[in-house]
């Protein structure tokens, strides 16, 4: 308390202020009063050190400017031009405006600073200005700069030279002010910074020291320099996350040795011979990875990624057989009853010749059936059970659970996945996902998992004809759908919402189902499936569609998760711009399962921006390429929330943009933990502090003693 008071007095009284350190509260900084301190706190800045870590979002420089002739009223622009005339003009209301006319190769633009006549003293004819702000109408086009840099008379502006850092700002705390605050402290603070990353790690990554990086991001000579600094900060984040992942993995493995399965090749070889097809190269490779995990003494913790239709189910079945032939039980959990039933049907058919009958456990089963299934699980009988979340309910217990498989794993929360694992002592775990993301990204998101990729589709797939049609083609599209129905095929019609909302004119599924049934599809059997139906109601509708008792299924995205209706040949999607690319891809994956031609039609007029996005989808059936584009367009946060993946949010790093750094960060993290698993060496103290200060998980993972 008394220390605070002294510091305050010094500041006010003009005495010798204590030197600013990284831990100095921002309130003690020149130019920061209580009000600004409050605003800074909103940005997460409470100390001088925080201020230093407040990194610009982007930069403006001569390479990003707009030709002045193209600056339109209503736009926010950054321009570069030489002052050819200037002056202060009074307005009728007594406000004085400093005005200048700037020129670049494209033409002239007037610039006005209301209430800032003093600029007349610092801005001269001949000076080159880099300005950004809104263009408005004020006796013609006029730029009202939010901020600007005077590059002086000599600067041609083309050499890169000065760069404008744009900071994440907040109301009342504009980027310009933040730049001033940072700039004022930079020289005093940088020498105080010690780099928390070990020299060996910095060298391996080829990135600058933290202090140098911070100078580069805050006061770059060029955008390229700024990027070098940013890369250092991004690397640090990626490296820290890898440290957490690798450490968690290490602890989990060493703490809990798993089952050492033996690859007996009895059931698996028999199944291979029974299959009506041969496994793809990717399936063989992935199976080898899985079997290697299962036969090691450590627990498997593996994510199997594969595009829709890449044949994950059969891979899961082989893994289950390995468990069974070692006298263990294997459980496959699916997100819907229908999907669980579908898997059981597939398994029953394939395994019948081997004399194996898989068990099923869902909430929908009758009490007697359920009891019978539960009794089988509770016994030590080796078996394969497929089920819904009924598998993780308290009442369900396993006699000898050795392998846990989670299908469409993103449909389950972390808790549910953990709950299933907890049904066994140390079961091996295989998670399956149909949103394929690049391996290095998977390593960031699910870093404590090993990752297998099923990057090849079974042969003989007929491509799905994908088209984008305007509203004016609606009648023709519907006629086409009818020709498919005429030859006995079925169709999906998908809408983004279920009821007409006040704000939009979106065609709602409920309303459209009625309209279609009475209109273009009069005489057809039209079914409706949406998210507000109860689970068993949904299943009933899907079952009817599967049994061909429904011709046209009008639906929201609840059909996204993998049900196989081979007779369905059309996927018609309304308001396609409302869907993410990966979502569209999942929807498209619902057709094309019968071997005949099938169609995915995006119907409706969309904005040029949306059209560009949808064209990516139309042009490829590669789920990996689509997921990548989706991530780039929507950002990682949308696709992988913290809850889902446990992924900490990054301040600087962008796993997609910084993808190339991820394997480097991972290798460096691995090498470091090999030398010092708990980071207890004195020279790793700063890194340890960084980790525990920044990540809650680190407190547990790097506990001392
Ligand atoms: P997903 O990866 O989307 O879960 P599935 O496992 O449902 O895909 O497989 C899709 C279809 O492909 C199934 O009908 C399955 O029998 C079939 N299939 C799987 N592997 C092969 C293969 N190697 N050759 C031919 N068909 C295959
Ligand atoms: Mg599947």
What are 445-460's pLDDT values in tens digits? Answer: 776 678 899 988 888 7
Ligand 1 pocket test, candidate residues 284, 286, 458, 593, most atoms within 8 A of CB: 458
Contacts of 73 (CB under 8 A, 6+ apart): 135, 136, 137, 141
Query: What pLDDT band is residue 135 in, cutting at 50, 70 and 90?
Result: very high
Please report how the helices 581-588 and 623-634 are oriented relative to each other, as an axis angle in degrees rounded to 10. 150
What are the residues facing 353 on neighbouring strands? none
pLDDT at 11 over 80: no
Average pLDDT over residues 238-266: 86
Angle at CA of residue 316, ends 314 and 321, nearest 5°: 95
Confidence at residue 91, expressed as pLDDT on a 0 to 100 scale: 78
From the CA of 284, the nearest ligand is 1
Query: Hunting for tokens 């949808």 — which residue is that?
Result: 614
Q: Which helix (H) or strand (E) holds 526?
A: strand 526-529
Closest-CA residue to 21 (of 204, 191, 205, 178): 191
Adjacency order of strands within the sheet including 568-574: 464-469, 598-603, 568-574, 490-494, 552-555, 526-529
Which element (helix H / strand E) includes 111? strand 107-114
Q: What is the mean pLDDT of residues 524-549?
A: 86
Q: At what angle do helices 312-324 and 337-351 cross, to 10 degrees?
A: 60
- Please state, in angstroms and rounded to a whole number, the distance separating the CA atoms of residues 538 and 549: 15
Q: Decide if 581 contacts 630 (C-beta within 8 A).
A: yes
Distance CA 673, CA 664 (A): 14
Cα separation of 561 and 308, whole Å? 10
Q: Lowest-pLDDT range, 62-66, 110-114, 444-448, 521-525?
A: 444-448
Helices (H) and strands (E) in the chain, counts: 25, 21
Q: How far is the CA of 491 from the centre of ligand 1 (A)?
A: 21
Distance 592 CA to ligand 2 centre (A): 14
**Strand pairing partners for 360?**
386
Is residue 147 predicted with pLDDT exceeding 70?
yes
How many C-beta atoms surround the C-beta of residue 448 within 10 A?
A: 18
User: What is the C-alpha end-to-end distance of the chain, expressed in Å?
Assistant: 34
The C-alpha atoms of residue 118 and residue 116 are separated, in whole angstroms, by 5
Mean pLDDT of 253-262: 80
Question: Would you give the DSSP letter of residue 473?
Answer: G
Residue whose tokens read 């006298």: 327
Which residues' Cβ are closer than 6 Å to ligand 1?
Answer: 277, 279-280, 283, 306, 308-314, 434, 458, 562
Highest mean pLDDT: which range of 86-95, 274-283, 585-594: 274-283
**Average pLDDT, integer, range 568-579:** 93
Query: Pocket of ligand 1, candidates 272, 273, 280, 309: which has the most ligand atoms within 8 Å of its Cβ, to mutate?
Result: 309
List residues, by chain if needed, whose CB lies under 5 Å from ion ligand 2: 562
Per-residue pLDDT tens over the stretch 616-655: 999 999 888 888 888 777 665 544 544 444 456 688 888 7
Written as six digits, the tokens of 91 are: 């307005």
The residue whose CA is least distant from atom 25 of ligand 1 is 458
* Burial track 231-254 (b if 16+ CB lie within 10 A, e otherwise): bbbbbbbbbbbbbbbbbbbbeebe
Q: Which atom of ligand 1 is nearest to the CA of 279?
A: 23
Least confident range from 122-131, 155-164, 223-232, 620-629: namely 155-164
Ligand 1, atom 9, residue with closest C-alpha: 311
Mean per-residue pLDDT, 580-600: 88
Banded model confidence at residue 157, pLDDT cuts 50, 70, 90: very low
Q: What is the CA radius of gyration of the chain?
A: 31
CB 205 within 8 A of CB 664: yes
| Greater model confidence, 139 or 521 | 521
Q: Which ligand 1 atom is at minimum distance from the Cα of 407?
A: 4
Q: How far is the CA of 322 from the centre of ligand 1 (A)?
A: 19
Give tens-digit pLDDT for 404-423: 999 988 788 778 888 999 99
- Here the tokens at position 138 are 């004020």
Identify the band that residue 494 occupies on the pLDDT scale cut at 50, 70 and 90. Answer: very high
Query: Taking a C-beta distance cutoff of 8 angstroms, is the pair 537, 338 a contact?
Result: no
d(CA 60, CA 176): 13
Return the ligand number nearest the Cα of 456: 1
Whether the CB-CB separation of 237 and 651 falls below 8 Å is answered with yes
Residue nearest to atom 5 of ligand 1 (CA): 311
Interatomic CA distance for residues 677 and 664, integer angstroms: 18
Parallel, antiparallel or unpaired: strands 141-143 and 128-137: antiparallel
Could you give phi then psi for residue 670, rounded to 5 degrees? -65, -45
Using one digit for the tens of pLDDT, what is the confidence trace for 360-405?
Answer: 999 888 899 999 999 999 999 999 999 999 999 988 999 999 999 9
Nearest to 43, CA basis, from 188, 191, 182, 149: 182
Average pLDDT, the chain: 87
Residue given tokens 């982007």 in the structure block: 58
Residue 330 pLDDT exceeds 90:
yes
Centroid of ligand 1 to alpha carbon of 409 (angstroms): 18
Average pLDDT over residues 178-201: 93
- What's the rounded Cα separation, in Å, for the pair 431 and 312? 10
CB 515 within 8 A of CB 502: no
Alpha-carbon distance of 309 to 682, in angstroms, equals 52
Distance 563 CA to ligand 1 centre (A): 12
């Amino acid at each position: 308390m008394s220390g605070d008071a002294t510091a305050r007095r010094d500041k006010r009284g003009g005495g010798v202020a204590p030197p600013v350190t990284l831990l100095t509260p921002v309130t003690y900084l020149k130019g920061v009063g209580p009000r600004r301190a409050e605003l800074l706190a909103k940005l997460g800045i409470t100390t001088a050190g925080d201020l230093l870590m407040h990194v610009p979002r982007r930069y403006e420089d001569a390479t990003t400017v707009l030709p002045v002739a193209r600056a339109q009223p209503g736009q926010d622009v950054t321009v570069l031009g030489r002052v050819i005339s200037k002056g202060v003009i009074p307005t009728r209301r007594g406000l004085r405006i400093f005005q200048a006319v700037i020129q670049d190769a494209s033409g002239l633009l007037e610039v006005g600073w209301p209430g800032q006549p003093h600029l007349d003293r610092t801005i001269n004819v001949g000076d080159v200005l880099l300005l950004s702000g809104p263009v408005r109408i004020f006796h013609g086009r006029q730029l009202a700069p939010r901020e600007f840099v005077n590059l002086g008379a000599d600067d041609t502006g083309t050499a890169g030279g000065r760069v404008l850092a744009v900071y994440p700002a907040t109301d009342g705390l504009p980027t310009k002010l933040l730049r001033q605050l940072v700039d004022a402290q930079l020289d005093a603070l940088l020498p105080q910074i010690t780099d928390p990353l070990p020299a060996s790690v910095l060298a391996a990554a080829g990135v600058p020291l933290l202090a140098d990086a911070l100078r580069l991001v805050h006061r770059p000579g060029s955008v390229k320099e700024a990027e070098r600094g940013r890369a250092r900060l991004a690397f640090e984040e990626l490296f820290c996350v890898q440290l957490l992942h690798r450490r968690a993995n290490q602890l989990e493995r060493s703490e809990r040795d798993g089952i050492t399965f033996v690859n007996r090749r009895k059931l698996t070889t028999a199944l291979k011979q029974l299959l009506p097809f041969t496994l793809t190269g990717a399936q063989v490779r992935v199976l080898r990875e899985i079997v290697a995990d299962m036969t090691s003494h450590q627990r498997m913790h593996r994510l199997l990624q594969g595009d829709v239709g890449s044949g994950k189910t059969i891979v899961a079945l082989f893994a289950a057989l390995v468990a069974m032939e070692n006298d263990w039980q294997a459980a496959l959990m699916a997100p819907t009853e229908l999907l669980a039933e579908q898997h059981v049907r597939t398994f029953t058919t394939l395994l019948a010749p081997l004399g194996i009958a898989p068990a099923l456990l869902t909430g929908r089963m009758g009490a007697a059936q359920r009891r019978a299934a539960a009794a089988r699980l509770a016994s030590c009988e080796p078996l394969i059970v497929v089920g819904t979340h009924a598998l993780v309910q308290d009442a369900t217990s396993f006699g000898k659970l050795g392998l846990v498989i989670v299908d469409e794993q993103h449909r389950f929360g972390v808790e549910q996945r953990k709950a299933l694992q907890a049904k066994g002592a140390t079961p091996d775990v295989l998670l399956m996902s149909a949103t394929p993301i690049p391996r290095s990204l998977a390593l960031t998101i699910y870093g404590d998992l090993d990752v297998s990729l099923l990057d090849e589709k079974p042969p003989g797939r007929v491509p799905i004809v994908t088209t984008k049609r305007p509203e004016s083609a609606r009648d023709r599209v519907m006629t086409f759908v009818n020709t498919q129905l005429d030859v006995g095929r079925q169709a999906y019609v998908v809408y983004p919402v279920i009821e007409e909302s006040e704000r939009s004119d979106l065609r709602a599924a409920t309303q459209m189902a009625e309209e279609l049934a009475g209109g273009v599809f009069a005489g057809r059997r039209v079914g409706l499936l949406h998210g507000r139906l109860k689970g068993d109601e949904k299943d009933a509708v899907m079952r009817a569609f599967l049994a061909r008792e429904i011709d046209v299924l009008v639906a929201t995205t609840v059909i996204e998760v993998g049900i196989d209706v081979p007779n369905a040949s059309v996927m018609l999607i309304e308001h396609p711009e409302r869907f993410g690319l990966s979502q569209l891809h999942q929807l498209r994956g619902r057709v094309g399962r019968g071997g005949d031609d099938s169609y995915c039609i995006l119907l409706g007029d969309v904005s040029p921006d949306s059209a560009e996005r949808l064209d990516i989808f139309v042009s490829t059936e590669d789920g990996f390429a689509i997921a990548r584009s989706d991530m780039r367009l929507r950002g990682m946060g949308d696709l992988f929330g913290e809850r889902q993946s446990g992924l900490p949010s990054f301040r600087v790093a962008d796993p997609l943009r910084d993808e190339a750094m991820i394997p480097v960060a991972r290798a460096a993290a691995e090498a470091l933990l090999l030398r010092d698993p708990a980071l207890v060496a004195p020279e790793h103290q700063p890194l340890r502090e960084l980790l525990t200060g920044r990540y809650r998980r680190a407190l547990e993972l790097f506990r001392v003693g």
